[in-house]
Structure 1
Amino acid sequence: MESSYYTNTLHVNFESVLAMDDPGMVSMFQALMASGLEGFFGCPAVIYEAALVDFFDNASVRDVIPKDSVADARSIVSSSGEPISMYGKKREMKFEYRLLCDIMEKTISVKAGSFNAITMEKFLMLTAIVCGVRIKWTSILFNILKKMVTLGSNQAKGYAVQISLLLENFPNLELGESSEFPSSKILTDKTVHRYIVLNEKVGA
């Protein structure tokens, strides 16, 4: 399978990142787990190429989030302490929330464009995770997946991992040969530390 199927995607090795010596990052990943999204963001060991190709060949968040939670999040995620603009730049956030923004951009949205921008859609998702708002993620993610999985679209290619995991759970389905998921697409303690270093340079 061509690597284009997972070019824009990003997944998390939770066991590795939760062992980091960085309270802020660990707290952010714990919030991600508590939200119920661990299974969606987690990285598999392998992906099934033939099954994915066959799937592609044949095959917006609207939940209300409390306004006070959104207002709180604007200050919680801000690196300066001042409420952040929901249409601002990602560099205005603390490192852990910049990374959370990236994870959502590349694993949920999978949209082409600037990865340095904060959009209303991403901010509402971020608020739900950071503030512990109970959201029916299953319904949201399924609807996004249903809309995005269009043959040949860049968005569809970003869902290779999630689709592979779904197919793996079907009984009596022959998936054929598998290939190892590329380590460059998995967040570990090492890659998160590198993320911090790179962002420190950008911030400076």
Structure 2
Amino acid sequence: MASSFYSNAQHVDFESVLGMDDPGMVSMFEALVASGLRGFLGCLAVVYEAALVDFFENASVRSGVVISTVGGQLVEISEELFAESFELPVVGLGDLSEIPKDAIFDARSIVSLSGEPINLSGRKNQLKMPFFLLCDIVAKAISVKAGSFNAITVEKFSLITAVVCKIKMNWAKYLFSILKKMVSAGSKQAKGFAIQISLVLATFPTLELGESSEFPASKILSKKTVLRFVSINDRDGAEEVTGAAKKKAVSKKRPAADVGAAVPKKKRSFKKKSISSMELVEVAEEAIPIQQVAEPLDVEESRCSSADAVDLIIQ
């Protein structure tokens, strides 16, 4: 089913979100526009499902070009065609590993909810809400990674840094490299870019694409869906913090059973003597009344009594 290619996708209605009354959110979306990603993330939200299934079933990479057949017709998508279709920047860094370390260091504090540099192996609830959403966008619409979307990874945070710190990226090269991974045999890259591939296929005049279907409104970030996103994640975040606090409070008090288990019992040991088993039985039977003392002995008296008892046994 073609829907599996965009089950986790997100798209952006820039006209709607740039008119929000939330300065933080508006600033984040303006940063996406300034990065040159508006044409890619905000293109016409239409999917040609039959053509999309055909494309992925038959696609491969040859000489750096993505080749496939759709409806029995050959299709070639080059990096240049991909860049032109979405007006993507072609100048700048083409690899995330080239992003300056000092920019990543600065971004760790800029996006932090607490003000302290975030942990790059932590979860996205460390982030202020606009960057919490940005983390979702880069994961689902740009890097298209399968797995947990709550975890922060080096790749996700590098993409966030590129947007937040306004680093010039060759988005044409980077995004096209992801498309090539999607169609390469043995690659673990999840398949996506459903809207973008549909738009590129529509530029081939001789292709029969079949009926188009609208992209699900729930997956398009508009003023309405962003407000809903904030409401849900604010609530979930509060519940998570409250749950963690309760768990911590409970863990401070050790259950009674644990206290007993934590204190090891001392075993009385005797020096080895050549005493027969019958003599040991007699001694044990005679030693029972010693334990039935009306008042507890203090430490020194207890030590002395124990020593006397040992002497008696030896005699």
TM-score, length of structure 1 as denominator length? 0.92
Are residues 139 and 80 of structure 1, via their aligned partners in 2, closer, same or farther at CA, if it must alter by over 3 Å? same
Aligned length: 203
Which structure 1 segments of 5+ residues have no match? none
Map 1:159-178; keep pairs closer than 5 Å. Answer: 159-178=193-212
* Residue aligning to 1:98: 132
Q: CA deviation at 1:203?
A: 2.2
- Structure 2: distance between partners of 1:89 and 1:61: 24
C-alpha contact (below 8 Å) 1:65/1:124 kept by paired residues:
yes
| Greater relative contact order (CA < 8 Å, ≥ 6 in sequence) | 1
SS in 2 for 1:104: helix
Q: Does 1:155 align with 2:190?
A: yes
**CA-to-partner distance for each residue in 1:1-24, whole Å, 9 max, x for gaps?**
542221011111111111100000
* Residue aligning to 1:55: 55
Greater CA drift, 14-23 or 61-70: 61-70
Alignment partner for residue 73 of structure 1, among 78, 86, 107? 107
* Residue aligning to 1:11: 11
Q: CA deviation at 1:150?
A: 5.0
**CA-to-partner distance for each residue in 1:30-59, whole Å, 9 max, x for gaps?**
101111111221152421122212211211
**CA-to-partner distance for each residue in 1:81-100, whole Å, 9 max, x for gaps?**
11111111100000000000
Map 1:1-204; keep pairs closer than 5 Å. Answer: 2-59=2-59, 61-150=95-184, 155-156=190-191, 158-204=192-238
The amino acid that maps onto 1:101 is C
RMSD over equivalenced CA pairs, Å? 2.0
- Structure 2: distance between partners of 1:188 and 1:20: 9
The amino acid that maps onto 2:105 is A
C-alpha contact (below 8 Å) 1:57/1:151 kept by paired residues:
no
Q: CA deviation at 1:63?
A: 4.3
**CA-to-partner distance for each residue in 1:119-148, whole Å, 9 max, x for gaps?**
000101100100000011110100011012
Identity of aligned residues (%): 64
Q: CA deviation at 1:69?
A: 1.1
Q: CA deviation at 1:171?
A: 4.1
C-alpha contact (below 8 Å) 2:96/2:159 kept by paired residues:
no
C-alpha contact (below 8 Å) 1:43/1:186 kept by paired residues:
no
- Structure 1: distance between partners of 2:99 and 2:170: 12
C-alpha contact (below 8 Å) 2:43/2:196 kept by paired residues:
no
CA radius of gyration, larger in: 2
Which structure 2 segments of 5+ residues have no match? 60-93, 239-315
The amino acid that maps onto 1:42 is G
Greater CA drift, 118-127 or 53-62: 53-62
C-alpha contact (below 8 Å) 2:45/2:195 kept by paired residues:
no
- Structure 2: distance between partners of 1:133 and 1:2: 34
Q: CA deviation at 1:182?
A: 1.2
SS in 2 for 1:155: coil
The amino acid that maps onto 1:155 is A
TM-score, length of structure 2 as denominator length? 0.61
- Structure 2: distance between partners of 1:124 and 1:179: 33
* Residue aligning to 2:309: none
C-alpha contact (below 8 Å) 1:148/1:155 kept by paired residues:
yes
